[in-house]
Every structure is written in C-alpha cells, then in structure tokens.
Amino acid sequence: MNTPERSAAFILDDDQEKIEYAADTKVSNAGTFTFNKEDHTVGNLLRMQLLRDPTVKFAGYKHPHPLVHKILLKIQTTSSQRLPTEALSAAIEDLSNETDHLITQVTEAIDKWKKENDTGMLGM
C-alpha cells in the first residue's frame, strides 16, 4: 500500500533538478555531482571515463541505497585551472562520441555479416 511508485526510479520528482553540484569545502579543485534518477549504468561509465583523463586526480561514485534513486559522483582535478565541471563535460562528450562510433560500427558489422551469410533475411 505504501510501496513507492516504480516509475520513481527514472522520472524526476516535482521540482527536482537532474544534476546538482556542491564544491568540496575542504579539498581544493573538488566537488560532488548528484545525478538524480540515475544508477550504475551511467555512474560507472562516467567514473571510468573520468579516470582516463590525466587532469583528473580522483573520480569515484556511489549509489547510496537501492531505493534512493540517485548517484553521487566525486571529482577532484589536478589544478585550479581545470574545474570538475569541465572534466565532467569532457567525459560525457567523449562517451557520446564513443557511442556514435559504436552505432556506426554495429550497423556496419551487421550489414557485413548479412552480406557474407546470405540467409534470405535481408528481405525480411
């Protein structure tokens, strides 16, 4: 009766921002991003991409609880010339380009397979 709506896992609550940012008060060049209604899919993807960036000193994420639909992503950069937000933007852009590349790769690979294995499926 008091179970939360399943859709609360992916639809933003009223007046909820998708991403919130809080600069770290104790560590320089660091801050925590809160991604509302996201999970390991995006969290781990962003963390691994950020770790490939030489201007990023630290990147880590956590999903606080299975029923709390958000992830916290902490980023620390190597210098004050590089904001955590800039590093995040760059990571998202790289991943977006990688996905574009994958779409082309998959489409080409499937077409190639179908040409080589003419199973009559092409007309379907």
Partner 1 sequence: MPQQRFPKVEVLSVAPHFISFILSETDTSMANAIRRIMIAEVPTLAIDLVEYHENSSVLNDEYIAHRLGLIPIRFTPEGSMRRVPGGDCHQAFLPHRECVCYDRCPRCSVEFELDVNFDRVNQTRPEQERDLPLTVTSTDLKSNNPLVAPAHFLNEEEQDESHDEGISIVKLGPGQHLKLKAFARMGISKEHAKWCPVAVATYRFWPIITINAEACGMLTMEQKQELVDACPDRILELDEATGNLVPAENAYEMATFTEDLKTTQEAMKKRPEDEDFVSVVQSTDRFVFSVESTGAMDAEDILLSSLRVLKDRLNYLASEVENGLK
**Positions that interact with partner 1 (CB under 8 A):** 6-7, 9-11, 17-19, 21, 35, 39-42, 44-45, 47-49, 52-53, 85, 88-103, 105-110, 112-114, 117, 121, 123-124
| Least distance (Å) between residue 26 CB and partner 1 | 21
Distance CA 96, CA 74 (A): 20
CB nearer to partner 1: give 13 or 17.
Answer: 17
Q: How many other CB atoms are found less than 10 A from the CB of residue 91?
A: 23
CB nearer to partner 1: give 67 or 121.
Answer: 121
| Least distance (Å) between residue 27 CB and partner 1 | 19
**Of residues 88, 94, 109, 108, the one with CA closest to residue 43:** 88
| Least distance (Å) between residue 69 CB and partner 1 | 10
**Between the CA of residue 9 and those of 48, 68, 100, 113, what are the distances in Å?**
23, 8, 26, 38
